[in-house]
Structure 1
Amino acid sequence: MIELHECGPPTRSSPYLNGCLLSDVDSAYIASRMGSEAAAGCISKLLELLRIHRFVMSRICTSNGTEAHMYSYGTPGALLRKNILREWWNHMVSSEENTFPVEASVVSPDMTDSGISLTLGPREENCKISGVCLTSSLSKDLLDHYPHSLQQVNKRLPFAQAAVGTCFQYSRPEFEDNRPSPHRLLSHGLCRTHLVHHYYSPPGSASQNYDHWLSLRLRWWRQFSSKPSHFVTSNIDAPDGKTTSSIDYMFPWGQSSIETVCNHGDHDIKQLEEQSGLSHQARVSRKMVYPHVIECQTSLEDAMAAFLADAFQEKQIFSTNKTIKQNGARMVLQFHPHLAPYNVSMVNTGSKSRELRLVTSHWSQDLREAGMRVLDTADVSLTQEAQFRRNDELGIPYTVVLNDQTLDTGVITIRHRDTMLKEQVHIAKFKERLVRYTSPV
């Protein structure tokens, strides 16, 4: 039985100190893994950016004397997680035929689970205490739902199941299966949001389907990346002989796994049949067979870490304006429009603040109704350049600028995050233009 206790006030080594994302120890570890000072500077600036804009915060708790992190997410981080989850769900569930979503409980009565155990019940003496286990994997829950899904498809292969849920873990060891230590960005949380997909394949085509899913998942990661070549695949030597590969991202501190794709064979289905005493075979043409389970597993934390590292850019500013040059390089999170916390930010500049406020509010609502995520901060006291810089750091692809001239001519300015180019568009057409920009194929 493991008891969890939250630590007291943050100490010098706490990642919560001053809102920092990582502890001093973790930062030193990352720096030691860097291949160059440039890479060390890159991650330091990324962590500072995440701290300033409250993408993620961390506190420390102890699990049987072992430290673990508990993460919470500010508005940009929460929106980024939501967008990643939506894209994964659309890709793995909504667009796939015969894919059945299930939902697992965070607790399990199975005390053999390798997760963290918890005691439930009142503290009074002589009362009955029940022990449960906080689940560490969704795979078993998916398999428990296999018989019902099998009936849904009239026992015909192939079909699939998917689940999203919170899992609990111990702190990871420095080295696991002789593989390099995993990345430290969001990797040591006490709980993680797992995204798991099981594809039940005919045994004769299991190898082809395994290659298909590995390729499909790699393309999914790359399509949202500004550096697609940083997503690669590698083979894993599984001790039980299962065919397993990982999709890795080349972080500034080294290559690390962010998703695993594994062909479990028919062992899990046979074991499930043995436990239940009922037949779990499926039909392929006229034959009854045991399907092979092809599992794709990642987590929101791994996806968020990869896409944050992938999106971070430090861009030099070339300008004749001395004030702009003195502000130094731009820190940009170059998110894909589908992942960016906000698609558009509205900015007002001009003396006719009341009239501009009314126009901005109207068009902000109109853009939201068109499905766009809008950050309307037209009332803030920041300068226009300061708002551009903030929007770049939040990863907002487009900034819409309205000024006094807009009220006279109906012309607004759309500023592009990645190029800094400013495009003048009539207000009657800018909504259509933005919808096209933020909905790439």
Structure 2
Amino acid sequence: MLTLSARRCILSQLKSQLKTTRGHCDTAPPDVSDRVRTLLQLCADRYYISPGESNSELFRRGWSCNYGPLGVELRRNLLQQWWHSVTGSRAWVFGVNTVSSNPDRGTGGARVIESERLQQILEQSELSREQLIQKLNRLLLSSPSVRTSLLQGALEQFVPSLEMVNKKLPFGLAESGLCFQPSDGSGCSAEVTQTSLVWFCSPRSSSQWLDHWARHRLKWWRKFASSPSDFSSTEVPENELEEKTSRGVKILYKFPWGLESLETLWCRGDAELLQTYKGIRTKLQTRDGRKSIPHVVSVSGNMDRGAMAFLSNSLQQLRREDGKKRLQQRKVLKLHPVLAPVKVALDVGKGATVELRQVCEGLLQEFLEAKISAWPGYLGAVPTSLELLNAKYDEMGVLFTVVIDEKTLESGLLQVRSRDTTVKETMHISEIRNFLSKYISAADKF
């Protein structure tokens, strides 16, 4: 498929861009470029993204990449929190799911084309230039277009949703999914994990609703941040407004290399809604006592860039002296407890290995039943000191490390280490599950 070819195109394009990108980093302050390299290397080493310079660059640019197990879990947690915040914030916000390609959706944009069919046409050397163009045009027109945003799918769901709410405003439609976006004018498309809230409201209230959702979204991003001031919002200047929009607001994050947009909110008016329904106004009228057409406020987010933002925001590099007065640097991902991919790591200390592992297995099962993500460190084949394990888990962003040793077999007591304080506490094995559940629940409400 052409979309697969597009991925190859992205990678080849990136290879030519990497030299420019590295040159840009070299002109940045050393601490900035070092921090970026440290973060990307940590993400690759600690299973957030797959190794490789091209893959790291895709992630740095805010595009979908090859995620590792922890990266998949972080993005899943982020999407889940986004979904809860949007659908649970007001009455009448509903989820929808639309197809990513549609043969009837417009004539422009990216298209999905079977590479074999394209190759067959190009190999017909007997065709004149005009005949070749005609065949290619027919192939393009018969191929489904690929969505570049989730807006159009929500607009197409407006009329059936309007009937569901008895033709009353306001209400919203929420969705998340992969979209293709142009990559800096290179001609190649990149996949992006996008979120979308399309809010339908009366014309006279659309600007107020834009302000409401802008405050709501900025508060949500800051809720999970170690440094909330790195997240900000700004009004889009009039000369940068998209076509058919009257106002815009962007939610920004201050990366080491500069500000990047995480979410964009637009007052879109009624033009696109009318265009979707071919100007048939009777289908679109509501029960608000007026015969006006609803206005649209859209909120579109990039969750790949959002994941990168939270990883960047949570990375702390701390210097400290060990017991022998040696200066050591500790790297830790202080991800919010709700977003952290792994809540607890289970390891064994000194004692009978078989019995200790049996205790770990039972405790792991308890965590799984309580939906607490756990890392089974006790299954590691290579013995590692607790100091090295703690350093590894800090870089993974693991909230707590639980060590089962011979004391656990004797008295049921185990050792619990906190990622954020490094304090080690003794706790009875019967209390640990409840402690973790309450800790995560409290962090979610904060």
Query: 2:94 maps to which residue?
Result: 100
Aligned: 1:363 with 2:363 = yes
Cα displacement string for residues 220-256 of structure 1 (whole angstroms, at most 9, x for unaligned residues): 0000000001100111121545210100001111112
Measure, in 2, the Cα distance between the counterparts of 1:358 and 1:436: 25
SS at match of 2:425: strand
- 8 Å CA contact 1:59–1:71 kept in 2: the answer is no
Aligned: 1:220 with 2:220 = yes
Among 66, 69, 73, the residue aligned to 2:67: 73
Distance 1:203-1:388 versus aligned 2 partners, 3 A rule: same
Measure, in 2, the Cα distance between the counterparts of 1:197 and 1:239: 17
Among 414, 417, 438, the residue aligned to 1:415: 417
Cα displacement string for residues 119-156 of structure 1 (whole angstroms, at most 9, x for unaligned residues): 24964789995322222111111101111101100100
SS at match of 2:313: helix
After TM superposition, the structure 1 = structure 2 runs for residues 47-66 of structure 1, keeping only pairs within 5 Å, are 47-57=40-50
**Matched residue pairs, number?**
410
- 8 Å CA contact 2:77–2:339 kept in 1: the answer is yes
TM-score calculated relative to the size of structure 2: 0.84
Measure, in 2, the Cα distance between the counterparts of 1:224 and 1:109: 40
Aligned: 1:43 with 2:46 = no
Cα displacement string for residues 177-233 of structure 1 (whole angstroms, at most 9, x for unaligned residues): xxxxxxxxxxx9711111010111122322221111000000000000000011001
Task: Note the C-alpha offset of 1:84.
Answer: 0.5
Query: 2:24 maps to which residue?
Result: 29
Distance 1:5-1:156 versus aligned 2 partners, 3 A rule: closer
Q: Mean alpha-carbon deviation: is it higher for 119-128 or for 232-241?
A: 119-128
Measure, in 2, the Cα distance between the counterparts of 1:435 and 1:335: 17
Aligned residue type for 1:354? V
SS at match of 1:338: coil
Q: Mean alpha-carbon deviation: is it higher for 222-231 or for 94-103?
A: 94-103
Distance 1:435-1:295 versus aligned 2 partners, 3 A rule: same
Query: 2:128 maps to which residue?
Result: none
- 8 Å CA contact 1:345–1:400 kept in 2: the answer is yes
Aligned residue type for 1:336? H
Distance 1:239-1:262 versus aligned 2 partners, 3 A rule: closer
Gaps of 5+ in 1: 16-21, 62-67, 175-187
- 8 Å CA contact 1:71–1:189 kept in 2: the answer is no
Query: 1:306 maps to which residue?
Result: 309
Distance 1:214-1:111 versus aligned 2 partners, 3 A rule: closer
Aligned: 1:291 with 2:282 = no
Query: 1:197 maps to which residue?
Result: 197
Aligned: 1:253 with 2:247 = no
Measure, in 2, the Cα distance between the counterparts of 1:364 and 1:11: 44
Among 309, 312, 323, the residue aligned to 1:320: 323
After TM superposition, the structure 1 = structure 2 runs for residues 66-145 of structure 1, keeping only pairs within 5 Å, are 71-110=65-104, 112=106, 114-120=108-114, 123=117, 130-145=142-157
Aligned: 1:434 with 2:436 = yes
Aligned residue type for 1:206? S
- 8 Å CA contact 2:226–2:314 kept in 1: the answer is yes
Cα displacement string for residues 361-417 of structure 1 (whole angstroms, at most 9, x for unaligned residues): 111110121121111111322221111111111111111111111211221111111
Query: 1:165 maps to which residue?
Result: 177
Measure, in 2, the Cα distance between the counterparts of 1:232 and 1:31: 27
Task: Note the C-alpha offset of 1:418.
Answer: 1.3
Kindly indicate which of the two structures has a greater share of residues assigned to strand. Answer: 1
Task: Note the C-alpha offset of 1:268.
Answer: 2.4
Measure, in 1, the Cα distance between the counterparts of 2:242 and 2:217: 24
Aligned: 1:401 with 2:394 = no
Measure, in 2, the Cα distance between the counterparts of 1:261 and 1:267: 17
Cα displacement string for residues 69-119 of structure 1 (whole angstroms, at most 9, x for unaligned residues): 772111011111111111011111245321221112221225746532232
Task: Note the C-alpha offset of 1:272.
Answer: 3.3
Aligned residue type for 2:375? L
> Cα RMSD (Å) of the superposition?
3.1
Measure, in 1, the Cα distance between the counterparts of 2:434 and 2:189: 42
Measure, in 1, the Cα distance between the counterparts of 2:432 and 2:98: 44
Query: 2:427 maps to which residue?
Result: 425
Distance 1:429-1:54 versus aligned 2 partners, 3 A rule: closer
- 8 Å CA contact 1:102–1:162 kept in 2: the answer is yes
Question: How many percent identity over aligned positions?
Answer: 28
TM-score calculated relative to the size of structure 1: 0.85
Q: Mean alpha-carbon deviation: is it higher for 39-48 or for 263-272?
A: 263-272
Distance 1:278-1:30 versus aligned 2 partners, 3 A rule: farther
Among 242, 245, 248, the residue aligned to 1:244: 248
Task: Note the C-alpha offset of 1:31.
Answer: 4.2
Measure, in 2, the Cα distance between the counterparts of 1:336 and 1:271: 43
Distance 1:420-1:319 versus aligned 2 partners, 3 A rule: same
Aligned: 1:235 with 2:235 = yes
